[in-house]
């Protein structure tokens, strides 16, 4: 029996998955078996994998898309049934260094106290940039932190990073750990499944480590809406679910304040920008998390995004634009490039004393602006813009609206969370 069962989950990424398999086959450590799980791809993934690697991989084809969680879980169950002592999970859009698996196995064999082992992940489009090197779950502020994210590789990171979660773009787990804590929580469908799985390993008393000598390139698909609200719904629902489940009872009141503020900000900001689909997706995620709705989203939840064209409408016919950077030079450059895409002849200045047609003043959040003169337009990181009297009315009503939302929602939130925790048998 091979020492390592390698599980690659694929959905509609025929070019990436072929490259991933090729890089695995180049490993210096060869005591492994490859399982590729295809999530009902509609491209030629299955055909191409079969033709090129049919004799080198075990191909498992799902009849429907089970999400990353369900896809990995099917492969892990197959590998567990085969008896491999270690299971290595890989996203389809990674390329692994030839020594990546060797480094994971050598550390695992020498450190029985560790249960999960992650690679150091670099950005495929910018290989000198670290994408992440282990993940920490911050129970105090209800967030996660990817270690060394977006750092330029300088050879100064520790050989081993202890953490309490690793991304499944490259994550190996001991068989005994999986037997104890189960496979990834497939009812997440996608997002937060690796976080929760790692945290369960952490709670079971095992070390979780990321290993410098195990390196991979990852073509990260960031959680940004491009076509529809798919990422928004699952990221929000599973974030709320995670902390609903793993916090202690005495932390729930603070959690309620935090999540209600976050939900309100997203919904109010979405309405401010006329991005109604995003606001609906966040509220659906919030409601489903409170009522224990898991798995694949119901019909009607995921929808096309609304285009925010406000900046274009304000700038596409002007000749000179002043941008007051106010300490946000990177964001200012992004806005300049965006404006040039639909007004290529515009001129820019950063000096408000010189003539201009429109002036944008960059702020952290427009909802805390107190200048309503409309002599300049305030814009924040989410591209919320104050440009007319209707915008001013929403800003004026912001604080009262948030207090009303929190006042009306908090008792219900706490009641539903406690009911949900009771159903799950959580007593801490």
Report how many domains make up the chain.
3
340 and 198 in a single domain? The answer is no
195 and 298 in a single domain? The answer is no
192 and 263 in a single domain? The answer is no
Query: Greatest CA separation found in the chain?
Result: 76
44 and 153 in a single domain? The answer is yes
Given 176, 196, 218, the domain boundary residue is 218
110 and 236 in a single domain? The answer is no
Domain membership of residue 223 (yes or no) is: no
Domain membership of residue 343 (yes or no) is: yes
CB 258 within 8 A of CB 251: no
Please give the residue range of the domain that contains residue 314: 310-382
| Residue closest to 102 by CA, chosen among 8, 164, 27, 183 | 27
Domain membership of residue 362 (yes or no) is: yes
- What tokens does 393 get? 């009315």
| Residue closest to 116 by CA, chosen among 191, 58, 192, 195 | 195
Domain membership of residue 389 (yes or no) is: no
**Contacts for 126-130 with beta carbons within 8 Å, 24 or more apart?**
127/217, 128/152, 128/153, 129/153, 130/157
Domain membership of residue 101 (yes or no) is: yes
61 and 201 in a single domain? The answer is yes
64 and 206 in a single domain? The answer is yes
Cα angle for residues 149, 222, 263 (degrees, 5° grid) = 95
184 and 299 in a single domain? The answer is no
338 and 363 in a single domain? The answer is yes
152: buried, middle or exposed (CB in 10 Å: 19+, 13-18, 0-12)? exposed
Given 183, 218, 253, the domain boundary residue is 218
Please tell me the predicted confidence (pLDDT) of residue 223: 43
Q: Residue 53 maps to which CATH number?
A: 3.90.550.60
276 and 298 in a single domain? The answer is yes
Please tell me the predicted confidence (pLDDT) of residue 226: 66
CB 132 within 8 A of CB 125: no
| Residue closest to 231 by CA, chosen among 301, 143, 138, 133 | 301
H helix intervals, 111-228: 175-181, 193-203
211 and 83 in a single domain? The answer is yes
| Residue closest to 4 by CA, chosen among 88, 98, 96 | 88
Q: Which residues pair with 303 in a beta bridge?
A: none
Tens-digit pLDDT profile for the chain (428 aa)?
899 999 999 999 999 999 999 999 999 999 999 999 999 999 999 999 999 999 999 999 999 999 999 999 999 999 999 999 999 999 999 999 999 999 999 999 999 999 999 999 999 999 999 999 999 999 999 999 999 999 999 999 999 999 999 999 999 999 999 999 999 999 999 999 999 999 999 999 999 999 999 999 999 754 444 689 999 999 999 999 999 999 999 999 999 999 999 999 999 999 999 999 999 999 999 999 999 999 999 999 999 988 888 999 999 999 999 999 999 999 999 999 999 999 999 999 999 999 999 999 999 999 999 999 999 999 999 899 999 999 999 999 999 999 999 999 999 999 999 999 999 998 77
Domain membership of residue 388 (yes or no) is: no
Domain membership of residue 376 (yes or no) is: yes
Given 218, 243, 267, the domain boundary residue is 218
Domain membership of residue 25 (yes or no) is: yes
H helix intervals, 192-297: 193-203, 230-246, 252-272, 276-290
49 and 129 in a single domain? The answer is yes
Classify each residue of 107-133 as buried b or exposed e, where b means 16 or more C-beta atoms within 10 Å of its C-beta: bbeeeeebbbbbbbbbbbeeeeebbbb
């Amino acid at each position: 029996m091979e020492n390592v069962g390698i599980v690659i989950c694929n959905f509609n990424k025929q070019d990436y998955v072929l490259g991933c398999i090729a890089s695995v086959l180049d490993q210096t450590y060869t005591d492994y078996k490859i399982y590729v799980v295809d999530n009902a791809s509609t491209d030629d993934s299955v055909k191409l994998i079969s033709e090129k690697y049919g004799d080198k991989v075990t191909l498992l084809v799902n009849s429907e898309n089970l999400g990353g969680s369900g896809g990995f879980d099917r492969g892990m169950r197959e590998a567990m049934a085969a008896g491999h002592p270690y299971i290595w999970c890989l996203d389809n859009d990674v390329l692994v260094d030839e020594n990546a698996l060797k480094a994971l196995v050598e550390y695992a064999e020498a450190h029985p106290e560790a249960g999960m082992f992650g690679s150091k992940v670099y950005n495929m489009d910018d290989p000198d940039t670290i994408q992440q090197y282990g993940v920490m779950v911050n129970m105090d502020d209800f967030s996660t932190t990817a270690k060394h994210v977006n750092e330029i590789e300088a050879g100064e990171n520790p050989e081993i990073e202890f953490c309490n979660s690793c991304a499944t773009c490259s994550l190996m787990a001991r068989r005994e750990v999986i037997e104890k804590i189960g496979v990834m929580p497939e009812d997440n469908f996608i997002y937060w499944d690796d976080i929760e799985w790692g945290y369960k390993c952490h709670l079971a008393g095992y070390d979780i480590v990321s290993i410098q000598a195990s390196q991979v390139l990852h073509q990260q698909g960031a959680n940004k809406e491009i076509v529809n609200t798919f990422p928004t719904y699952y990221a929000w629902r599973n974030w709320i679910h995670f902390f609903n489940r793993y916090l202690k009872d005495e932390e729930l009141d603070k959690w309620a304040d935090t999540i209600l503020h976050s939900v309100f900000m997203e919904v109010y900001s979405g309405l401010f920008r006329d991005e109604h689909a995003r606001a609906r997706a966040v509220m659906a995620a919030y409601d489903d998390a409170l009522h224990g709705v898991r798995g694949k989203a119901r019909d009607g939840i995921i929808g096309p995004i609304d285009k925010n064209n406000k900046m274009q409408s304000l700038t596409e016919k002007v000749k000179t634009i002043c941008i007051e950077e106010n300490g946000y030079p990177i964001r200012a450059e992004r806005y300049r490039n965006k404006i040039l895409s639909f007004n290529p002849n515009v001129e820019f200045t950063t000096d408000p004393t010189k003539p201009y047609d429109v002036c944008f003043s960059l702020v952290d959040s427009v909802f805390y602006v107190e200048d309503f003169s409309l002599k300049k337009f305030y814009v924040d990181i989410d591209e919320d813009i104050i440009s007319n009297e209707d915008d001013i009315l929403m800003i004026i009503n912001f604080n009262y609206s948030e207090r009303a939302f929190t006042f009306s929602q908090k008792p219900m939130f706490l009641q539903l969370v406690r009911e949900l925790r009771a159903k799950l048998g959580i007593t801490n």
